[in-house]
Amino acid sequence: MPDPPLRLRHRDMLRALDEIDLLGVVAQELVRRANGTDRPRAGVVVAPDATTVQDRRTGRVCLLPTPSLHMIGMAALATLTVRELLTPAVVTASVFGEGPAARLHLSLIARHIPNFSCASVHPANLLVIAELGWARLDLGHLHPGMVIINATRRDLPEELLDEVDRVYVDDIGLLEHNQHRTFVRWHLAGSGGPPDSRHRPPGGHRGPVARWRYERRIDTDLGHVLAGGRGRPDADDVILVELFNGGSPTACLAARICQAAIALGIDHQ
């Protein structure tokens, strides 16, 4: 008789993270997506409430709360972004949010990023927007070289979009499924946003043309950054990274968490 499904709780999933290379798992899947070599993850079904995983080694079925899986995936993507796009200096961060998502972002960044310190006020070179719950999101002046990570999967104010130099996403293959987002519509429209001749770069522009500020075009995604070692074209650019969180990285992460939980002997039956 087969074993009953293993129902993991949020804290079980966090415990399992200690047994896997979280950033390595997510990075590998993003690179596969960028190179066109990813494959559907057999035995993983991601549904809105629960994700079902059948472990390939043991045949055991795990049930994971999908909201927790997405929260972990977002925090992993944000941490990977910090590692790849911030210059190697002291990382001072402001995190918008007070709930579990914000705490998880802080926890993973502190664990995986050297020279990290948390700042509750500006100036900071890293802004992580983990949750939206304010009538107005006012970030003040955006300092050169700042990286802003939007992990809410909701639109930021258009006045903030007007202030960034470049927009990256985690997986550019997910644009089709996110056409409800303002910045995606502007990108797909070609020039699609408000820039006009007054926004064109002056002749003395400091480096490569910032495609978002002057063209409303998304530069690239994290998979191509990782695959090609592209990093950031100009150290002074303000970069907004919009996280969709889906596709093969989510399925692979679910499978690895299930595998680690089984190995740890977690069982609530």
Angle between helices 66-85 and 248-264 (to 10 degrees): 110
Q: Is the dihedral of CA 61, 67, 70, 76 positive or negative?
A: negative
Q: Check residue 192 and give its pLDDT.
A: 44
Give the three-class secondary structure for 194. Answer: coil
pLDDT digits (tens, 9 = 90+) for 206-243: 456 778 988 899 999 999 999 986 667 788 899 999 99
Query: pTM of whole model > 0.85?
Result: yes
Closest CA to 79 of 27, 35, 131: 27
- The tokens describing 49, both together, are 């409430």
CA distance linking residue 147 with residue 163, whole number of Å: 12
Q: Check residue 185 and give its pLDDT.
A: 94
Phi, psi of 228 (to 5 degrees): -110, 0
Q: Are 171 and 244 in contact (CB under 8 A)?
A: yes
Q: Are 3 and 55 in contact (CB under 8 A)?
A: no
> What are residue 268's DSSP bridge partners?
none
Q: What angle do CA 40, 54, 247 make, to 5 degrees?
A: 30
* Residue carrying the six token digits 């797909």: 188
pLDDT digits (tens, 9 = 90+) for 99-156: 899 999 999 999 999 888 776 555 688 999 988 765 556 677 788 889 999 999 999 8
